[in-house]
Amino acid sequence: MCPLSRKEGVNTRDHLLKIVRDGVRLLDQNLLDQNRSDVVDTIIFIVLLVAAIVAYKGMSTKVVLPVFVLAFVLTFILFRHHVTSQLPLQF
Amino acid sequence: MSATNTAPDTAPVPEAHELIPEGDHHEVTIWNKLGYWFPHIIAVGYAGVIGAAFSIQITQGDMPCPLCMLQRMAMVLVGIAGLWMIGKTRKGHMNLNMYMRCYGLMLLSAVLGAVIAARQVELHILPGDEGYGDPVLTLHLYTWAFITFCVVIIYSGIMLIFGRTFLPVVPRGNAAKWISGILVGIFIFVIAANLVSVFMEEGFNWVLPDDPVRYELPYQLGLKD
């Protein structure tokens, strides 16, 4: 049992899943809002730069793999947004 | 029908670790040295591709669209998988397990890149559509990107088939070390340059506009009207 969720009778796994679900929903809502003052592409390139540096330094799997997976997932989420959005894509 | 072969199998069943040979202690061949340089070629090759697209962006003002930028990200991910292999080999921590992990990541990144590039190809697949940007050698950049991702997928598959044959080993001598450092430096520089470029292009917007025509950051900072 997670100490934070013990009172509600929710186990750790459900608690973490709820946090992840809320995070993805929040990210998705914000992605659709063009006026938010944040930068997704820039953030992804920062993560990629960090991943490249830790990878070249030959750091352990525990360090490199999470950073790599984070960059991969963020890229995928951004792609998903550009594919599924209702924006009038014209090239 | 009852089993007819009831003779006990006298051969001892091998343990799992006996089936997987250790990758670090075997005779070093030219293939192992090539296995060290191949990830360099992938990383610097993609640095060249991104650099070429970057030069078109600067010299001709051909701004990258969101899908173009996503393809660059996938190319960088492919290169990073190679970089990890180089880093681990240089530290002497390369083994068969690590080798497979790096090529697995490279394969997945190339698949993601191919999907993104294929999406952009599909957007311009209708007859009469001139495509986005100027073609290079009769094909558009996203079509070339799709081809390169397919090449990386095939390459990674082949490298995974051969496994221990191409297990990377650092060549002796300072020259190899310097060349490796320069090639990796070029790749990391391209990532940093793209970081600056995308920040200039995107500014403080959440995502890139569909059809970018200018660098947003100077306008948002009030440097341009």
Residues B30-73 have pLDDT tens digits of 888 888 899 999 999 999 988 888 888 788 777 778 888 899 99
Distance CA B159, CA B153 (A): 10
- How far does B208 lie from chain A, in Å, by closest CA? 8
Q: Structure pTM? A: 0.74
pLDDT at B15 exceeding the cut of 80: no
Q: Residue A42: which of B66, B76, B195 has the nearest Cβ?
A: B195
- To test the contact with chain B by mutation, choose from A82, A83, A86 the residue with the greatest count of B C-beta atoms within 10 A, namely A82
CB contact under 8 A, B80 and A48: yes
CB contact under 8 A, A56 and B184: yes
Quote ipTM for the complex. Answer: 0.73
Encoded amino acid at B157, one letter: G
> Around Cβ A31, how many Cβ atoms within 10 Å?
19
B66 to chain A, any CB pair closer than 8 A? The answer is: yes
Q: Of the candidates B139, B125, B85, B137, which has an alpha carbon nearest to the alpha carbon of residue B109? A: B85
Tell me the mean pLDDT in the region B100-120: 93
In a 13 Å sphere around the CA of B74, the CA atoms on its Cβ side amount to: 30
Sign of CA dihedral B131, B135, B53, B47: positive
Question: Which DSSP symbol is given to A86?
Answer: -
- To test the contact with chain A by mutation, choose from B46, B183, B206 the residue with the greatest count of A C-beta atoms within 10 A, namely B206
Distance CA B219, CA B225 (A): 6
Q: Residue B119: which of A44, A72, A83 has the nearest Cβ?
A: A83
Cβ atoms of B118 and B140 within 8 Å: the answer is no
Please tell me whether residue B6 adopts helix, strand or coil conformation. Answer: coil
In this prediction, residue B211 has a pLDDT band, given cuts at 50, 70 and 90, of: low
Sign of CA dihedral A5, A10, A12, A18: negative
Give me the pLDDT at residue A60, please.
87
B47's enclosing H/E stretch is helix B30-60
- To test the contact with chain A by mutation, choose from B207, B216, B219, B221 the residue with the greatest count of A C-beta atoms within 10 A, namely B207
Give me the pLDDT at residue B40, please.
93
Q: Of the candidates B169, B128, B148, B175, which has an alpha carbon nearest to the alpha carbon of residue B71? A: B148
pLDDT at B19 exceeding the cut of 50: no
pLDDT at B180 exceeding the cut of 70: yes
pLDDT at A17 exceeding the cut of 80: no
Residue-wise DSSP of B105-167: HHHHHHHHHHHHHHHHHHHT-STT---SS--BTTB-HHHHHHHHHHHHHHHHHHHHHHGGGG-
Cβ atoms of B83 and A58 within 8 Å: the answer is no
* Closest-CA residue of chain A to B84: A55
In this prediction, residue B3 has a pLDDT band, given cuts at 50, 70 and 90, of: very low
B119 vs B209: which has the higher pLDDT: B119
Give me the pLDDT at residue B152, please.
95
- The mean pLDDT value of chain B amounts to 81
Tell me the mean pLDDT in the region B186-213: 78
pLDDT at B17 exceeding the cut of 80: no
